[in-house]
Chain A
Amino acid sequence: MTARSLSTRLAPWLYTLVLFAVWEAACAIFKIPTFFLPPPSAIARALIDYWPAIYRNSLFTLSATLIGFALAVGFGLCLGLLVGWSRNIYAGLYPLMIGFNAIPKVAVVPILVLWFGIGFLPAVLTAFLISFFPIVVNVATGLATIEPELEDVLKALGASKLDIMRKVGIPRTLPYFFGSLKVAITLAFVGSVISESIASNYGIGNLMLQAQAQFQVPLIFAGLIALAVEGIVMYWAMAVLENRMTGWAQRSGFAQA
């Protein structure tokens, strides 16, 4: 890996600063009322004023998201391996999964509440339900795209299906798997926040709902910022993990220019 230049490393911070500066300026120049679109300075003030509540609810949302995500990783990996293992299982399960994925998860939350009551568990389960699909699809794709020639080489040596899976299938699936985690973790946040804003007394979703009821628009945006930060941190963690585990698959200089 070549060391990235200073300007590339500073770029994310710089671009974020510019975004907020333009936003702030636009609010001032066009005299946008705070209850319509609050300027970043007002959002920052709300962040400071309501920090204890934001902090507590952020942790709540984060834990619901992470537990749901962990379930999705375990379940998604197992189901992906199963679907990738046999054409028959693939043919049988795939339409079911697509159908399931097409269901808006907002519509599932009331059912979860019916089963498990209001609170933590529906948030966890919604995060899980919304985030396992990309993991399954990616793992199954990794297994389905083993080069047939390589399979022939190994089969001719008397390799069993399990051998091919262990020696080739699973290692070559890892980049797909870790890539899918980046998508899944952000979806998991969407799931837990949806559930919290419909049926919970805790979490950032609930905080935003209450702020909306009280017309505290800067606080709504403060909640969004808190979510965005959590999302970025977790995405980054997944990206680091991906790099660690599958460095061999990421040697292209394509995006480094």
Chain B
Amino acid sequence: MSAFVALDGVSHAYGGMGGTLAVDGLSIAVGEGEFAAVVGPSGCGKSTLMKLATGLQFPFKGAIRVGGEMVKEPVKIAGMAFQAPTLLPWRTTLENLLLPLEIVEPHRSALRRRKADYIARAEALLSSVGLDGQAGKFPWELSGGMQQRTSLCRALIHEPRLLMLDEPFGALDAFTREELWGVIRDLHAARLITVILVTHDLREAVFLADRVFVMSARPGRVLVERPIDIPRPRDIEVTFTPAFQTIVHELREHIVRARP
């Protein structure tokens, strides 16, 4: 099987080859439409993985393929969201959503002509994450959870085939976080998009992912690959079942052992 996202024996160091190794001999393969979660102790190079898979950084060793092609420049079929929503405060929710379309081709050239289409698409996306009627508001008029939903929409507006999430819910309260798990789960189910989620939260990883990768302490590589065979669609109630708890517990053991 050829994977949609494949990192093969990748080593990357900041500050050139002599610098500190962030990841070393990292291999991960994620199939198309799969939901992968990456967990590990802090500083294990999870964020480096994000940058490598999206073509923002290039490794000195190993190969990276996304969508069947070698990554030699930024991967335009990817959307990204981070812990901080990083919305532009001078733009409304709708204008924030349109930002990627002002950058990425072919939308960039078509923006003027197809403005109405794009606005309709943005509004549909907003309502799919429960943000109906918020398009005209500025980011500071939205709650933290709503800002993060907007940030997710911004990552999806150009209909990427790969969604990269770097601790997207880290700054939210527990209830909002669970709500957004539901949002991501539904987006993934509806769009058949490939998702790579980097997180500290093991419950989050197990609830959302088809497979969880446990990374070692720096320099990071994959220690354990754990398929999650809980049937979909998953309800939040599943997180309270003993089977679920057992998987979380097992992953926790791996991470405790992986810590430096």
Contact = CB atoms under 8 A, between A and B. Distances in A.
A152 interface: yes
A111 B88 CA distance: 46
A224 interface: no
Given A147-B86, A167-B99, A167-B102, A156 B138 contact: no
Interface string B133-156: 000001010000000000000110
Interface in A166-225: 167-168, 171-172
Contacts of A152: 51, 54, 56, 80, 82
A249 B90 CA distance: 8
Interface residues of A, number: 20
B88 to A, nearest CB: 7
A173 B96 CA distance: 17
A257 interface: no
Contacts of B158: 157
Contact of B103 (A158, A171, A246): A158
21 contacts: A147-B84, A147-B86, A149-B86, A152-B54, A153-B80, A153-B86, A154-B100, A154-B103, A155-B74, A156-B55, A156-B74, A157-B74, A157-B76, A157-B158, A158-B74, A158-B103, A158-B104, A159-B103, A167-B102, A248-B89, A249-B89
Contacts of A237: none
Interface of B: 51, 54-56, 73-76, 78, 80, 82, 84, 86, 88-90, 99-100, 102-105, 138, 140, 154-155, 158, 166
Contacts of A147: 84, 86
Interface of A: 147, 149-150, 152-159, 163, 167-168, 171-172, 246, 248-249, 251
Interface of A is mostly: helix
Contacts of A156: 54-56, 74-76, 78, 80
A172 B88 contact: yes
Contacts of A155: 56, 74
B88 A163 contact: no
A171 B51 CA distance: 26
Contacts of B105: 158
- Among B75, B84, B103, B154, the most chain A Cβ lie within 10 Å of the Cβ of B103
Contact of A168 (B54, B78, B88): B88
Nearest to A152: B56
Contacts of B99: 154, 167
